[in-house]
Structure 1
Amino acid sequence: MADAAMRLTSLAEELLGGPLPVRVRAWDGSESGPEGAPVLVVRHRRALRRFLWRPGELGLARAWVAGDIDIEGDLYQALDLLSGVVWERGDAPRGGLLRAARDPRLRSAAAALLKAGGTLPPPPPPPEEVRRRSGPLHTKTRDRQAISHHYDVGNDFYELVLGPSMVYSCAYWGEEEAAGLADAQRAKLDLVCRKLGLREGDRLLDVGCGWGSMALHAAREYGARVVGVTLSTEQAAYARKRIAEEGLTDRIEIRVQDYRDVRDGPYDAISSIGMAEHVGQVRYREYADRLFTLLKTGGRLLNHQIARRPEKDEAAYHVDEFIDRYVFPDGELAPLGRTVGALEDAGFEVRDVEAIREHYARTLRAWVANLEADWDRAVGLTSPGRARVWRLYMAASALSFERNRIGVNQVLAVKPRDTGDSGMPLRSRAWAG
């Protein structure tokens, strides 16, 4: 295929009905498209087959993870430009673009693209992809497998991406430009402790405790006695080592345990930071009920959770295929209103909601910068495909927060007393100081 880039650009624009917003460099070294724009590098013909047999983000994601395509230039700009030209799920049925294109002119262009990619069957998915699962969602066994896929990829890799704070959730940035990621993560942990009103000797349950950063901060800075639960064996081992090194084993216990199996309440406070996204819609009321039961009367819950925008037709909502196959298997996002409603239905009084989505965009950009700055080591710690998954997922997520496609919220709730006294400060957000 002589001058492949020109042909690809022409066929793509025919299918799209408009100009392609990025420049294309094909496997033969040819280039076509707007000067100065980010370059979509098509390294191998099979990238076309991946996309044509699975139009939309999953086909592109497979090509990206496999290294069949790449981006030169500003990755964020390229993703922003390409987001407007990718077919949404439902626009093309399974079986590929050839069956979807009913217009003879489009069918001809699709056939030409398929020919350019070679007439072989679709390539197998990259090994980093989770295969389709069967059976009920969010059983304890299935949740444990999903958590292991995402979190048990090596603590050294997470150290490289997250930095020394080892906090895998949205940081809390101040106005000072000089403040770094570690300072912003510490500020977030301290904000959570202040919202929970932690005091010396309080029992704190940290649900989804990760690598132990929240537990360490609460015990060290506030004198709390902490139980942290996680389904990740690698996280638990790392957290226990940190706790021992700081001499806090008498104050912190880390368990490999499902939150549904915690039975030693009541706790004075519960933190759930970036965990509820794994719970799923079918289990969310059970999640709220369980935390309500584990909390003492008058105790506080801080639920820190990513939220999606509500759909006009909620029945049409679908899980992002790339995220489901490569990043968070079985993860689900809910609108903020649904989360608040479930907590209230369980008996909580919701006292405060703080939206901090801009903070997450900045956090993700910091993680991407860490990954890119030590790329070769990241690849060595995992695999080329896994490192590419993370770069794409974090950069795309940063854009989603910036464009208000998704948000993140801290919801502070209280288990009410019979007297009606909430135990909260009279002035709202007294912890903000």
Structure 2
Amino acid sequence: MSLSFSVKNEVGPARRATLELPHGPVETPVFMPVGTAASVKAVPQDVLEVNGAGGKGAAIILANTYHLYLRPGHELIRRAGGVHRFMSWDRSMLTDSGGFQVFSLSELRKVTPDGVEFRSHLDGSKHFFSPEHSMEVQIALGADIMMAFDECVETPATWERTKESMGLTHAWAQRSLDYWKEHRHEVPWSQPTHRDETAMDGAPSVVAGLEGKHQALFGIVQGGMYKDLRKESAERLVEMDFPGYAIGGLAVGEPREVTREMIAHTLEFLPKDKPRYVMGVGYPDEIVEYARMGVDMMDCVLPTRAGRHGLLFTSQGRINIKNRQFAEDQNPLDPACDCMVCRRYTRAYLRHLMHSGEPLALTLASEHNLAFYLNQMDVLRRELETPSL
């Protein structure tokens, strides 16, 4: 078993569903914090587990294949029992394919039908990612959901360039799927690679409760900003019958209305009985809007990245906590928020930490922003529990 997806209720195109994964259930629609290097920046795991969503915290987070492959290395993480055990995270996890990060290395990569040759941004060393190698790395990492290797086309790009890139994505998707089907049971947490303290003789054993389970693989719809290509890409991937589907290649510089248009159009061609994931979006109002359109899963680095620069999201709108107006403001950051930060600290104190360059400022700002995102989805899930009249 890799996953099961059950829709509990629908209100228009929006769905309230449960995604069952090896490391636990995920209630959708859901926002997934990004933990690039097996760490959600500046936020410890115990805080992620309880801060936001009515004290339930994050049910699923991301890790980045490209970065973990380069450092500390996927084989090291495999020997540690997988990324869950390595980072002490017992809940669900998703890894991207590394394709977007390689795409970002425009001056350091060479794309061929076989895969992508690239140079590390760390030390300039040369590496090669094929669909098969991306799958191998992701299986070693052991997240509950892994992503097919794809190519994300630049924006803007011509129809011809986008069509060519999309064809490569489809070929790589099939190769990713074939490798996954053959090797999916090699995931670290289903292998006897570590000592189980409950075993009578201390013999190696699989993680309790994970016997017979394996990772799921999602295909990624591409097609740039062209409706006909988005339709073609979705239909081609649905033919391959992935356990779930992602919409990629958006929020890369195009206007927001174009992002929304591409999401709405692509959703028309994705199956309703499988999870649908939009990658790399967005602001708080955007993730609510996309969930109402029928998107089940979303992720973005924005909560922690914006927080580290002093941009905080509140029920009263965005604020820059560095501004002078907050120097003596003894109110909580957001009076309507019950996160750990808003329950304890004032705006004046947060501004002081930011101006003093205190590392705690980055942690508190990130914790609040993540809680705000998680709370947005929690409110929406509760709203979607009730059938529409």
Q: Flag whether TM exceeds 0.5 (same fold).
A: no
Greater per-residue helix proportion? 1
Higher relative contact order at CA 8 Å, sep ≥6: structure 1 or structure 2? 2
TM-score range, shorter chain: under 0.3
TM-score by length of 2: 0.27
Greater per-residue strand proportion? 2
TM-score by length of 1: 0.25
